[in-house]
Amino acid sequence: ERGGGGVRAPASTYRLQLTAERGFDHVRRLVPYLDALGVEAVYLAPIFTARAGSEHGYDVVDVGAVSPALGGDAGLLALSAALRERGMGLVVDFVPNHMAACLENPWWRDVLAHGRASEHAATFDIDWDPPWPSDTGRLLLATLGDRYGAVLERGELALAWSEAREALVVRYWEHELPLDPATIVPVLVDVLAALAVLDAVCARWNGAPGAPGSFDRLDGLLRAQVYRLSYWQTAEHEINYRRFFNISDLVGLRQEVAAVRERTHARLLELVRDGVVTGLRLDHVDGLVNPRAYLAWLDARLRGLGVAEPWVVVEKILAADEQLPADWPVAGTTGYDLLNAVNRAMVDPDGLDRLDALYRRFTGRRASWDAIARRRKRDVMDTLFQADLRTLEWDLAALARDDRHGCDVAADLLRRALEEVTAALDVYRTYVEDEPPAGDDLTRIERAVAAARERAPGLGDAPFDVVERALRLDVGEPGAARAFVHRWQQLCAPVMAKGVEDTSLYVYNRLLSLNTVGGDPDRGALSVRDLHRFNEARRRASPTGMSTSDTHDAKRGEDARARLNVLTAMPSAWGEHLTRWSSLNAAHRALVDDEPAPSANDEVLVYQTLLGVWPVGRAPAEAVADVRERVAAYVLKALREAKERTSWHDRHEGYEKAVLAFVEGVLADPGEAFVRELADFAAVLGRFGAYNSLAALALKLASPGVADVYQGGELWAHHLVDPDNRRDVDFDARREALAALAAVPPGDAPRVAAELLAAWEDGRVKLWVTQRGLRDRRARRRLYLEGDYRPMKPSAGARGRVIAFAREHRGDWLVGVAALRAGVWAAEGDGAPTGRAWASEEVTLPAGAPRRWRDVLTDRTITAETASDGSLALRLDGVLAALPVALLAPAEARP
């Protein structure tokens, strides 16, 4: 099926992070294990050469070379060969939006040396004619640790000869900045007069600290360069190249330029042509001027290589009511939409309302999620993206000057109106190209403008009128209007990412499990009916899109989320623990600036974080040792991301130290009441969280899409946000556990499955379900990737507590069944949603479905019963006899 360049939709993927210590050889050694697990394609972090020491690979410096640190071409080809031997594919994460803006990048270095004359001047998204004329033809390089003059006169900038580059450079600590050849003639005159004393010549140019006038020559040389060196914080106010978010050492690429596309994709396309790469994940396509045009070009290039059906997924965060543009030629997204839908299905709606009341009472906070998100988006525009917004303000004012209805609207009012509209936009961005917006884009813009008018009536109508018309391409010269809208759209996505993902999700701490990338905590629980509708829509729109439950960008591990969701089924218990723990730990709180440290909101963050990651089943001292440093590091990051009493740019050491002392204090004695109670409550949540986890896993496996497993996630994943989720995975333990489970005879499977569920703490039950589900996916890939989707109706007593659906493709069938919201079972029987807990409840099979089934997870045979209306129904006490989930295949079609 691979044909041509070898790209096809895999039945499943397994994501692996890469570092110099865990490169291609490491992955190659994992191939037999991943094959035994049932994985069809290995899915790698970026493989091209990144900055030295990169921990993630997204800071690429050479898109034409496979990373030597990871193993280079030889290592990659050996890995590819090992995968091919087992019929497995290789999906790679590719970064079309940006590269590292550093001296290791030869293209960037060439631009620094030659400016507009560089052959790579058009590669990067640089504004060579910024609104401020002082930098016309120059590049603002905000890399200095202090103001330019202070750095210069301390002698930290020095003219030097680089042995490595065999050239004159300006040395700033370990960095060697190139010089424009046309500017070094005065230096060369001195050198020619004293070739034997080059160092002495450089010393004369470099000046002497304490004698400001001695730096005049070096200052003149630096001012003659293409780049203007400046204090790093200058980038908050002025910048004339597009960055990845607000990271000045990641520079945007101009994929709208044909030559740039060809140059940046040449090696990647060779790897696809040669069958080494069999699938692509594209990072941050929302950063591009025109994602659709870029994706259409890439699709055409892949098909030109002989790839009949390219499998390409995009990192695109969809709002709850948003669909991937229908004209994007991709398989789908990376699957955050499924992650959030399944996560919300595990939330009890009534319990969430009670948690909301508890949270507001404990913290005293009343602001809605929408208000928080809107405010934080404005905040990041006023700080992190002030330079970008300032440029848009100038561009908008220039458009307005040529418009009779906008010429007398002050630029400041236009900026404030544009900021309000951007904050009100409820999606990451719109996709206006060369024609005025229509359809969903127009609706989103109109809705954002209307909301902004309502929220900022003091600005008056005129500024909003200009902004709305500008976004409709109805103000100013058409080319300038399009450029303005394109640049605005490219800013909207970073504003959403930094304002919501990296700020608001750390502020609104009601229920941390709902604080996910692409999530909307205020949308709360998802009904079974709506989950069916979601799956049906996904089946129609992107049946081979990625289905994920955890990623390297997730705010916390999938099983930590599943555990915390149980709080919605136990709001009273949570409220009692929260009140008691706050009292028990009062001695560990401090006063900083006359306010408690931690704040009540941050205290909620600490307790829920501990509950989510607590290693249930371990001795208290051992558990504390496992989580103490991890939780402290996470809490510090969360405080800075929230930007309330401290931040990355304006650190409040007093508050940070007080909160970290609180974390240390509450965990100091494993024998204290708090730690004992924390462990006990985590064990209760952990058990029902495990049932939730299995339900989410079964839904990922059975639903339309390509099931993805994040590294190590076949056992419990209770990690936190990066870097915690990038820790080494113990694959030796996983190999050993998998080998033991794979050796279980079919006749023993029902008993072993039940025993694994009873011993849920060790995570082997998740490994069991993962392996059996993935292997069935691989054996019946066409059913999983092409099969239809048919919701199944449960009996009255099971409604809202179970989800069941069938998939069918050319006579092959699958039935997926999962118990939902496991915590609601806590008061019933032994609390497990298995066997007798279902009494006489049942689910009705679709017409034409088989009568006899085999559970892929337990090897049990289940026979449907005939109802009075002639339909077939499956009794849930039989289907869910051993596990709270089931994946049923026709009994007569055993693979």
Q: Please report the DSSP string for 712-765 in residue order.
A: TTTS----BSTTGGGSPP-HHHHHHHHHHHHTS-GGGHHHHHHHHHHTGGGSHH
Residue 7 has pLDDT above 80, yes or no: no
Residue 317 covered by a domain: yes
Under the banding of pLDDT at 50, 70 and 90, the label for residue 1 is very low
Q: Is the same domain home to 91 and 222? A: no
Residue 585 has a pLDDT of 98
Domain-embedded: residue 19: yes
What's the angle, vertex CA 695, arms to CA 693 and CA 698, rounded to 5?
110
User: For 787-794, what is the mean pLDDT?
Assistant: 98
Domain-located, residue 232: yes
Query: Is position 204 within any domain?
Result: yes
* Side-chain half-sphere exposure of 761, counting CA atoms within 13 A: 10
Q: Give 140-187 pLDDT, tens digit per residue.
A: 999 999 999 999 999 999 999 888 888 889 999 999 999 999 888 777
CATH number, position 138 = 3.30.1590.10
Which of 167, 18, 143 minimizes the C-alpha distance to 90?
Answer: 18
Q: Say whether pLDDT at 566 is over 70.
A: yes
Same domain, 403 and 449: yes
291 plus 275 within the same structural domain = yes
Average pLDDT over residues 686-699: 98
Q: Which pLDDT score is estimated for 824? A: 80
Instruction: Find out whether 390 and 238 touch, Cβ atoms under 8 Å.
Output: yes
pLDDT surpasses 80 at 227: yes
* Inter-residue contact 775 to 818 (CB < 8 Å): no
pLDDT at 895: 44
Whether residue 309 is found in the same domain as residue 395: no
Do residues 385 and 476 share a domain?
A: yes
Give the C-alpha separation, 681 to 885, whole Å: 24
Q: Is residue 673 part of a domain?
A: no
207 lies in the same domain as 140: yes
Identity (one letter) of the amino acid at 727?
A: R
Looking at 277, 311, 334, which one is the last position of a domain? 334
Residue ranges in 614-672 assigned as alpha helix (H): 620-642, 653-666
- Concatenating the DSSP letter of every residue in 532-588 gives HHHHHHHHHH-TTSEE-S--TT-SB-HHHHHHHHGGGG-HHHHHHHHHHHHHHTGGG
Same structural domain, 488 and 419: yes
Residues 317 and 386 grouped into a single domain: no
888 falls within a domain = no
Supply the CATH number for residue 266's domain.
3.20.20.80
For the chain, how many helices (H) and strands (E)?
29, 29
pLDDT in tens, 611-637: 999 999 999 999 999 999 999 999 999
Mean pLDDT of the chain: 95
d(CA 774, CA 702): 10
In a domain, 217, yes or no: yes
Nearest partner of 773 among 38, 33, 4, judged by Cα: 38
Strand-strand pairing, 885-890 and 852-855: antiparallel
CA dihedral 124, 129, 131, 134 (to 10 degrees): 110
**Chosen domain end from 452, 474, 506:** 506
Cα dihedral 383, 387, 391, 396, rounded to 10, equals 0
Using DSSP bridges, classify how beta strands 790-791 and 706-710 pair: parallel, antiparallel or unpaired.
unpaired
- Say yes or no: 330 and 262 in one domain: yes
Predicted confidence at residue 620, as pLDDT, reads 92
Q: What b-and-e string marks burial along 214-234, b requiring 16 or more CB atoms within 10 Å of the CB? A: bbebbbebbeebbbbbbbeeb
CB 544 within 8 Å of CB 332: yes
> Does 114 share its domain with 242?
yes
Among 201, 229, 247, give the residue marking a domain's end: 247
Cα–Cα distance, 179 to 181 (Å, whole number)? 6
Give yes or no for residue 339 having a pLDDT over 50.
yes
Give the phi and the psi of residue 167 in degrees, each rounded to 5: -160, 160
Number of domains in the chain: 3
Q: Are residues 168 and 201 in the same domain?
A: yes
**Region class of 617: left (phi > 0), else alpha (psi between -120 and 50), else beta:** left
pLDDT 10s digits, 524-548: 899 999 999 999 999 999 999 999 9
Single out the residue of 482, 478, 452 nearest to residue 465, CA to CA.
Answer: 452
**Calpha distance 149→181 (Å, rounded):** 24
Q: How far is CA 235 from the centre of its chain?
A: 25
| Parent domain of 420 | 381-506
CB atoms within 10 A of CB 869: 7
pLDDT at 177: 95
pLDDT tens digits along 101-139: 999 999 999 999 999 999 999 999 999 999 989 999 999
In a domain, 599, yes or no: no
Angle, helix 461-471 to helix 439-455, in steps of 10 degrees: 170
Which of 177-181's residues contact partners 24+ apart within 8 Å by CB, and which partners? 177/103, 177/112, 177/225, 177/227, 177/229, 178/103, 178/109, 178/112, 178/113, 179/113, 179/221, 179/225, 180/113, 180/114, 180/115, 180/224, 180/225, 180/226, 181/113
Same domain, 260 and 243: no
Judge whether residue 362 has pLDDT over 80.
yes
The span from the CA of 538 to the CA of 547, in Å, is 10
Rounded (10°) CA dihedral 174, 175, 180, 186: -30
3-state SS record for 171-199? EECCEEEECCHHHCHHHHHHHHHCHHHHH
Question: What integer pLDDT is reported at residue 165 of this predicted model?
Answer: 86
Amino acid (one-letter) located at 667: L
